[in-house]
Amino acid sequence: MAEPILIVRDITTFIGQFHILEGVSVSVPRGSISVLLGRNGAGKTTTLKSIMGMTPPREGTIQFEGASLVGKRPYTIAQMGIGYVPEHRAIFKELSVRENLEIAERKSGDLRKRGDLIFDLFPDLKRLITLSGGNLSGGQQQMLAIARALVPDNRLLLIDEPSEGLAPVIIEQLMRAIETLSAQTTILLVEQNFRMASKLAHLYTIIDDGRSVLSGAMPDLVRDSALIQRYLGVA
């Protein structure tokens, strides 16, 4: 396996006075699709937010391409080359599709440079370019949220629950897009939909009750239905 692009080691995160993460470690090899699995409220989203610096960890270390992310502000972390696609997409509803993409530019001309990649992946967006974000369907918003993270040249994408609330055909479409993307960038996914996660990801880390309890290669997990039952509650 390639050298890790991201190493999260033993982070502890509080939100207000609530102790959400009590020791999470994740290692993401360059070029891989890795997935964080676990029940609702286990701390998967908080792990992504801790990496982004949005809920900064109190203890532990996070290294991206060898540089420490702890203590940095979210905008600095993003500028280092990390794209964030939050749960519920967080599309700017009052902005047009084009503006939603333009705002993600880090240098002017980013969108022009990456336009081909983005519109090959999500041809629908080209047609919808003048609509406002609030007028898109859930699936279109999800595509826009991923596209937005592709505008600058990010080397790592953090994608939170892309399949949430979407119809099966749309999920298929998204899966294909994420698979295509993994040829160019590394992806760390949070996904409740185990079928989708198991098909896409090469590696998994299970988070349970704020701790990372297990990680390994996806095919090994797929074969172990007892483990799946125990931590994820799906058969």
Partner 1 sequence: MAQFRKTGGSWGIVISMIVGLLIFSFVTSNNPGTFGITVLSGLFQGMLLFLVASGLSIVFGLMDVLNFAQGGFFMIGAYVAFDVHHPGGLIDLTNTIPNTDIRFIVAVIAAVIVGGLIGAALERGLLRPLYARPIFQLVLTFGVSLVMIEAVRFIWNTTPYSWTVLFGVREGYFTLLGQQFSTYRLFVIAIGIVLIVSIALLLQRTRIGIIIRAGVEDSAMVEALGINVRAVFTLVFTFGCAIAAFGGAIAAPFLGASIGMGSNFLLAAIAVVVLGGMGSYVGTAAGSVLVGLAIAVVATFSSEYLNQPVWSSMTPMLLLILVLLLRPSGLFGERR
| Contacting residues toward partner 1, per CB under 8 A | 52, 54, 73-75, 78-79, 84, 86, 90, 92-95, 99, 102-104, 106, 132, 134-135, 148, 152
The CB-of-130 to partner 1 minimum distance in angstroms stands at 13
The CB-of-218 to partner 1 minimum distance in angstroms stands at 27
The CB-of-78 to partner 1 minimum distance in angstroms stands at 4
Q: How far apart are CA 34 and CA 37, in angstroms?
A: 10
Nearer to partner 1, 135 or 225 (CB): 135
Nearer to partner 1, 90 or 129 (CB): 90
The string of DSSP letters for 22-70 reads EEEEEEEETT-EEEEE--TTSSHHHHHHHHHTSS--SEEEEEETTEE-T
Burial of 108 (0-12, 13-18, 19+ CB in 10 A): exposed
Q: Check if the beta carbon of residue 146 is closer than 8 Å to that of residue 177.
A: yes
Nearer to partner 1, 104 or 156 (CB): 104
Q: Specify the amino acid at residue 126.
A: K
The CB-of-3 to partner 1 minimum distance in angstroms stands at 25
The CB-of-217 to partner 1 minimum distance in angstroms stands at 30
Q: Which residues pair with 215 in a beta bridge?
A: 205
> Any idea which residue has 């360059």 for tokens?
30
Nearer to partner 1, 92 or 119 (CB): 92
Nearer to partner 1, 25 or 132 (CB): 132
